[in-house]
């Protein structure tokens, strides 16, 4: 079993929704506004953001787990036919700044999605 197979999407039903964010992005050459719902786990060491499609259906789930400030696990899941499917697992032993850059590159390459605002 690979490390990829050991990671599954979190059940967000017991997590606290913390905020709703609208982020301006370029998607396939078009300027769009996407909506993120941010969640935090009861343990406060895990978080997730769900990115909705323009029709309101969940599209991507970003999961983050802080092992410690310099060891961060970040996983991207895509909603395919109602199931969260692992797309990319990123680890950073250098903190969240490098992880943010890696995630931006991945999102541009995989989905042609570029955040214009945070």
Q: What is the pLDDT of residues 5-34, one digit of tens each?
A: 467 899 999 998 999 988 899 999 999 888
Q: List 49's β-bridge partners, or say none.
A: 38, 62
Q: pLDDT tier at 74 (50, 70, 90 boundaries)? A: confident
Question: Residue 4 above 70 pLDDT?
Answer: no
Q: What is the DSSP letter of 93?
A: S
* Token pair listed for 57: 């259906």
pTM of this prediction?
0.83
Q: pLDDT tier at 77 (50, 70, 90 boundaries)? A: very high
Q: How far apart are CA 116 and CA 70, in angstroms?
A: 26
Q: How far apart are CA 27 and CA 51, in angstroms?
A: 13
């Amino acid at each position: 079993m690979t490390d990829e197979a050991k990671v599954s999407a979190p059940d967000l039903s017991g997590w606290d929704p913390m905020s709703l964010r609208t982020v301006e992005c370029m998607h396939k050459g078009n300027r769009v506004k996407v909506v993120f719902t941010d969640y935090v786990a009861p343990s406060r060491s895990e978080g997730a953001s769900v990115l909705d499609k323009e029709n309101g259906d969940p599209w991507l789930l970003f999961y983050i787990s802080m092992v410690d400030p310099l060891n961060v696990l970040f996983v991207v899941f895509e909603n395919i036919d109602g199931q969260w499917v692992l797309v990319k697992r990123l680890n950073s032993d250098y903190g969240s700044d490098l992880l943010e850059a890696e995630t931006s590159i991945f999102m541009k390459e995989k989905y042609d999605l570029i955040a214009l605002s945070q």
